[in-house]
Structure 1
Amino acid sequence: MNFYKIIEPHVDALNKTEYKLLNFVIQHMSEINNKSIREVSSLCYVSTTTFLRFVRKIGFSGYSEFTTVLKFTEIEEKSDGAKQMMVQRQEQYRTEYLKNIEETVRVLDAHKFRQISHLLIKKPKLFFFAKGFSKFAAKYINYLYTINGFLVVFPENYEERLLAYQMIKKDDLIFVFDYSGEDTELIENLYTIKRECQYAAIISITSADKNAIQNMSDHNLYYFSDELKMNNVNMGSQVSLIIIMELLLYQFLEENHSPQMTVENK
């Protein structure tokens, strides 16, 4: 009866609000054990109905089972010392964090950037495929490209991703964001797209290590990030992914002499 094993299959289906509830539960596990659903809902600033719906969505039959499993999990963690979020000291982590960003920008392939920027000239429809924490970075990227005149399709759950490839046309660009480059579902979707669809190009942004998604792409850009896991949830930084997509857009706007683009250094 381990809390993290029960929720693991359901985490990717959570929306932003539910992710916040999950983070609250993980951070206040011992406190929740002794509180009623009304008390916990109040602490989370949601209704009891919303919190109960969340509890069921992450794999529990009801609030009673939820609190019982929390108690057993806490006992288990205390006995084996399993709960560790970060081994490195904060100062060391900050240093590595900045190094990852600097290295990502330093190794960006200018030739690939120009090739992808050229593909953007026709303002094709853009498809963004992402899961896990990359999905929330993709939401910002979606907003950024949309306000700059691109039509973006960003399927956020499994069913939407299954249907999205049916909408792809020959001039469309497909972006895949997955640090490991080995997500089974995304790989299967790419196989389907390559087999059944016409498209302009598949552009992946992954880690630098050789991986399946990278090999299936027409263009691959890569970034650096420490793979941090808390309770089996990958919480690696997505900042470098965002930086790549921002720089790509800025290059496109600059090359095409966008009248809306101005730079102010303050």
Structure 2
Amino acid sequence: MFPYEVVSKFTETELHLYRYIMDNPEKVMYMRVRELADETHVSAASIVRFTRKLGYDGFSEFKVQLKQASKEKGKKKTADTIEVLEEFFERTLRRDYDEILDKAVDVIDDAQLVVFVGIGTSGILAEYGSRFFSNLQKRTFYIKDPFYPNAAQQFDNAVMVILSVSGETPQVIIQAQNMKQYGSKIISITNSSKNTLAGLSDINIPYYVTQEMIHETNITTQIPVLFLLEAMAKKTYNRHQI
């Protein structure tokens, strides 16, 4: 109902209305335009302009959509994590994950430095991956700042492990392009193999779990990513323990 592109252009009055509606949706959906005007000290005309800016014919249509959004919000439930993981591990056992991981380990083992990259939740996992590999005696670095400058120029003989659920985050793709430009290898871990980042990668490891969105936020489970990071780290370490 409230696209970021529209909200970012709201005036102070419109932001005031937006905040009031977000704080009181159950109340607003049963108000008349004059009642909302009195409650927010905003003119009725401003409220109508506000709703039209959002793409509605007027306040009445806006209220209908507000009620619908409230119903959908109430019905929305998250997926059972155990079921999602059981599905992932069942597929993992059936697929040639060992072969893919071995190829990734070949690249990691030859590199002097492993650079982990991610943004948001993936950034936290990038930091975790860096620490886990370091615990197993591999030189690492992590980047979770999407605007980290010219990463590839600063790392010699490095491989970049990029974490991204969608594989379409612009800043992450720029980092991958920088790395490729300077001759470094790219290993990506994404939720599918059909995305821009996977296409840029030397090795892509997809985990294929059901994507979940709550309130426009991606809450897709990242436990498979932890599994893949730890599996790669242990395989890399074990190669030198024979």
TM-score by length of 1: 0.63
* Aligned twin of 1:36: none
Structure 2 segments unaligned to the other structure (5+ residues) = 9-13, 30-65
Between structure 1 and structure 2, the one with the greater Rg is 2
Give me the whole-angstrom Cα distance separating, in 1, the residues matched to 2:206 and 2:235.
Answer: 17
Structure 2 CA distance, aligned partners of 1:202 and 1:194?
7
Indicate the residue corresponding to 1:198 in structure 2: 183
1:219 match: 203
Deviations 1:219-263 (A, max 9, x none): 1111022221222111111100110111111222222217xxxxx
Please point out which of 172, 181, 204 is paired with 1:186.
172
5 Å-filtered alignment, 1:74-89, equals: 74-76=23-25, 79-82=66-69, 84=73, 87-88=76-77
Asked if 1 retains the 8 angstrom alpha-carbon contact of 2:168 and 2:197, the reply is yes
Once superposed, what is the RMSD of the aligned Cα atoms?
A: 3.5
Is residue 57 of structure 2 the alignment partner of residue 72 of structure 1?
no
Residue 67 of structure 1 and its aligned partner are, at CA, apart by 8.4
For 2:214 and 2:4, locate their aligned partners in 1 and report how far apart those are by CA, in whole Å: 13
The answer for the alignment partner of 1:230 in structure 2 is: 214
Deviation at 1:88, TM superposition (A): 4.8
Q: Secondary structure at the match of 1:126?
A: strand
- Identify the residue that residue 127 of structure 1 maps to in structure 2: 115
What is the SS of the residue equivalent to 2:189? strand
Distance in 2 between the 1:99 and 1:136 partners? 24
Distance 1:5 1:109 in 2: 39
Q: Which amino acid in the other structure matches residue 102 of structure 2?
A: R
Length-normalised TM-score, structure 2: 0.68
Q: 1:121 to 1:194 in 2, by over 3 A?
A: closer
* Residue of 204, 218, 227 corresponding to 1:243: 227
Deviations 1:25-58 (A, max 9, x none): xxxxxxxxxxxxxxxxxxxxxxxxxxxxxxxxxx
Identical-residue share of aligned pairs (%)? 17
